[in-house]
Amino acid sequence: MELLDKLNWRYAAKAMNGEKVAEDKIERILEAARLAPTSSGLQPFEIIVIKNQELKDKIKPVAWNQSVISDCSHLLVFAAWDTYTADRINYMFDLTNDIRGFKNEGWENYRQMLLNSYPQKDAEENFNHTAKQAYIAFSQALAAAAFEGVDATPMEGFDPAAVDEILGLREKGLRSAVLLPLGYRKDDADWLSNLVKVRKPMEDLVTVID
């Protein structure tokens, strides 16, 4: 129940008050993102945490001038791999072997299967897949923020190419997928803060097949 209470409390804040979020809360929100499951466990994304005010102010105009970009405490940029490469795949499989302390034939066969398919695919198709994985972590961060009593605005309303340029992401083999400003709501400046949450009824969402 506690989780549902927090998810009912959260909303996509349209105005934030500039108050700083404590670093221990940010660490737990990032840890929730790190713990997100991903396809084949590859975690094909990075998270850029922007605290720098100048940088936030520079991003705001390429994010539809949304005020929360400037007025948030921490701006998370979920940046997905621009494609899959052999090095990137091997890094994660090697890390798994290192941490678990053994090699497993089935796991190594699975590595080969991925190496024989992913890197050969079109980069755009791969980015489509890596960005989906980034959204899983983004969603866990969003829920963790609510759990911490921290407001957040899930955000696709920005020009990804411009954000990539400002942050130099393409040079690092990354592309911005989605943004998550974190901070505290400014009730008196937010038309949405007192409106009832709207979701379609359960019967329009879920089909149970016995």
User: Least separation, in Å, of the C-beta of 2 and ligand FMN?
Assistant: 18
Asked if residue 69 binds ligand FMN (CB under 6 A), the reply is: no
Q: Are 6 and 62 in contact (CB under 8 A)?
A: no
Q: Which residue is nearest to ligand FMN (CB)?
A: 157
Candidates 44-52, 106-114, 149-157, 167-175: pick the segment binding ligand FMN (CB under 6 A): 149-157
**Piece of 54-62, 77-85, 104-112, 153-161 that binds ligand FMN (CB under 6 A):** 153-161
- Using CB under 6 A as the binding criterion, the count of chain residues that bind ligand FMN stands at 11
- SS3 letters for the chain? CHHHHHHHHCCECCCECCCCCCHHHHHHHHHHHHCCCCHHHCCCEEEEEECCHHHHHHHHHHCCCCHHHHHCCEEEEEEEECCCCHHHHHHHHHHHHHHHCCCCHHHHHHHHHHHCCHHHCCHHHHHHHHHHHHHHHHHHHHHHHHHCCCEECCECCCCHHHHHHHHCCHHHCEEEEEEEEEECECHHHCCCCCCCCCCCCHHHHCCCCC
Shortest Å distance, C-beta 16 to ligand FMN: 11
Q: Segment 4-63, which members bind ligand FMN (CB under 6 A)?
A: 11-12, 14
Nearer to ligand FMN, 42 or 177 (CB): 177
Binding mask of the shown chain, residues 183 to 202, with x at each position contacting ligand FMN by CB under 6 A: --------------x-----
> Residues 163-182 vs ligand FMN: string with x where CB under 6 A?
---------------x----
Nearest-approach distance from CB 10 to ligand FMN, in angstroms? 7
Residue 155 interacting with ligand FMN (CB under 6 A): yes
CB proximity list for 121: less than 8 A, separation 6 or greater: 83, 84
Q: Which of 5, 27, 94, 156 binds ligand FMN (CB under 6 A)?
A: 156
Contact between 79 and ligand FMN (CB under 6 A)? Answer: no
